[in-house]
Structure 1
Amino acid sequence: MATKKPYAAETSVPVTKSRDDIEKLLVENGSEDIAFGNIRGFIVVAFSAHERQVRFTVPMPDVESPEITRTPSGAIRTSKAELTRVYDQAVRQRWRALFITIKSKFVSIDSHVASWEQEFGHAIVLPDGRTVMEATLPAIERAYATGTVPPLLGITS
Structure 2
Amino acid sequence: MKRTKYAVDTKVPVPQTRIEIETTLARFGATAFAYAVHETGASIAFECNSRRIRFSLPLTKGDDARTQKHHRERWRALFLTIKSKLVSIDSGIETFEDAFMPHIVMPTGQTVSETIRPQIADAYKGGRMPLLLTGPT
Q: Normalising by structure 2, report the TM-score.
A: 0.91
Partner in structure 2 of residue 80 of structure 1: none
Q: Deviations over 1:56-101 (max 9, x none)?
A: 11111245xxxxxxxxxxxxxxxxxxx8111110000010000010
Give the match for residue 20 of structure 1.
19
Query: Are 1:125 and 2:125 an aligned pair?
Result: no
User: Greater Rg, structure 1 or structure 2?
Assistant: 1
Look up the match of 2:130.
150
Gaps of 5+ in 1: 64-82
- Select the residue among 89, 100, 122 that pairs with 1:109: 89
Secondary structure in 2 aligned to 1:26? helix
1:116-137 Cα offsets, whole Å, 9 max, x none, are 1111111110010000000000
Instruction: Give the percent of matched residue pairs that are identical in Structure 1 and Structure 2.
Output: 39
Q: What amino acid maps onto 1:46 in structure 2?
A: A
Deviation at 1:38, TM superposition (A): 0.8
Number of residues paired by the alignment? 134
CA RMSD of aligned residues (A): 1.6
- Cα distance in 1 for partners of 2:50, 2:81 equals 21
**Does structure 1 residue 96 correspond to structure 2 residue 76?**
yes
What amino acid sits opposite 1:96 in the alignment?
A: R
TM-score by length of 1: 0.80
Superposed displacement of residue 40, structure 1: 2.5
Secondary structure in 2 aligned to 1:35? strand
- Letter of the structure 1 residue corresponding to residue 89 of structure 2: I
After superposition, residues 4-153 of structure 1 pair within 5 angstroms as 4-63=3-62, 84-153=64-133
Tell me by how many angstroms 1:4 deviates.
Answer: 4.0
**CA–CA separation in structure 2 for the residues paired with 1:32 and 1:39:** 24
For 1:153, give the aligned amino acid: L
Query: Which one-letter code corresponds to 2:43 in the other structure?
Result: V
Secondary structure of the residue aligned to 1:57 is: strand
Greater than 2 Å deviation, 4+ residue runs: none
For 1:6 and 1:61, the matched residues in 2 are separated by 16
